[in-house]
Structure 1
């Protein structure tokens, strides 16, 4: 988890300091800087922030409900994964437990995404952690309710957007023993069964078919294929390649 110095603005902040805070907001909440077309959509909101008409929390309420944010994170995600993402962006941590997941899932399902964003940003925890003028950042709490809560927050805050898919939140894929690192959540036993099936299929291929398969594979994939072959098949391939 990154150890960041909190960025806070106030009435005495210079234009450069507020511009830096804006950059940090996008880094935390959008996980990148906006494209030029998105900048145009956000022009008035950015202007109000830079001129000290609104603070960080008010900016986040508007931005979290914008098409830019929703297109990037809400529409590609399941509801529970979107909650995961929102907690990362606005609270700097993962969802702690099933009770918290259920509470915010009900807000999202019954009142909609705008109410969800508002509920998070109006929460007592958010006000104590960030107030109205501090940019949210990945947090390390002094005390976690469980080792899992600690690990989940670390994993989530270090995760690049979409890295572990758009369906299963961190809490669930860890509890279910899934491997989501490739963007799609799978159980290790399924992967092992597929590898075994693939190995059996390779054993039944002719030397000519194996050669054709290797020609169309990347060097890494080719090494994996060769490693799965029987000694007899390897000897036949060496003979065919001479």
Structure 2
């Protein structure tokens, strides 16, 4: 993908740290902070620029801040939040539903901070980025599956909120939904599934995962699987997407 790797070690100059800070914001916030957000992040920024904390510690401070949580957690579904965390901190899309389920359980039972910490403490993160490298969109020589290759490419190149705030890229096409314009629509549905966002309940998160599991093991196409849902299942699915 041609992304410039930024490594900030003990010998980095202030100018190099400032450049790395801009790259961190581009990778994690997908933009530079606004003035009022810089005030929230001021102490962490100064600690980073003065070499009191490294890249990984600054990432944790940024991720637990209201600046990050207001953008990527409070207004979105748990599943979409997890997908964005993978994009921002691991530079790739989730590999499969098992990986999503693992972190969804951490998120629902321990909270957003513990979920992000689990990613930053993971063996994969330590191996790929260590303590000094700013995360970046990764391009692998080999992928676990064509789906992982496709999803990582789509996720790392899409603009913030481009395909909605609810359904992860791993699932939207499996459900037969078209979310390319930032809202989700099923070919058989008349309405656009994009009402105001509200907090997702644990029961609805589990319901969506159950439906996706059923789709994955079914020999039917996504449209056939959608058509075979009972009215109550369709309503549950629409409530999750909402």
TM-score, scaled relative to structure 2: 0.77
Shift of 1:187: 1.9
Shift of 1:169: 0.3
In 2, Cα distance between equivalents of 1:160 and 1:80: 18
Q: 1:129-170 CA deviation, whole Å, 9 max, x = no partner? A: 100111000001221111011000000001111110000001
Q: Which residue of 2 aligns with 1:208?
A: none
Shift of 1:177: 2.6
In 2, Cα distance between equivalents of 1:87 and 1:106: 15
Q: Which residue of 2 aligns with 1:27?
A: 26
Q: Which residue of 2 aligns with 1:209?
A: none
Q: Which residue of 2 aligns with 1:181?
A: 180
Which structure has the larger Rg over C-alpha atoms? 1
Q: Secondary structure at the match of 1:18?
A: helix
Q: Which residue of 1 aligns with 2:59?
A: 60
Which aligned pairs between 1:190-201 and structure 2 lie closer than 5 A? 190=189
In 1, Cα distance between equivalents of 2:167 and 2:143: 22
Give 5+ residue unaligned stretches, structure 1. Answer: 195-242
Which aligned pairs between 1:1-242 and structure 2 lie closer than 5 A? 2-190=1-189
Give 5+ residue unaligned stretches, structure 2. Answer: 193-242
Shift of 1:188: 2.9
Number of positions where the alignment pairs a residue of Structure 1 with one of Structure 2? 192
In 2, Cα distance between equivalents of 1:51 and 1:145: 40
In 2, Cα distance between equivalents of 1:46 and 1:74: 22
CA RMSD of aligned residues (A): 1.4
In 2, Cα distance between equivalents of 1:145 and 1:185: 27
Q: Secondary structure at the match of 1:175?
A: coil
In 2, Cα distance between equivalents of 1:38 and 1:139: 28
Consecutive aligned runs of 4 or more in structure 1 exceeding 6 Å deviation: none
TM-score, scaled relative to structure 1: 0.77
In 2, Cα distance between equivalents of 1:185 and 1:96: 22
In 1, Cα distance between equivalents of 2:75 and 2:159: 15
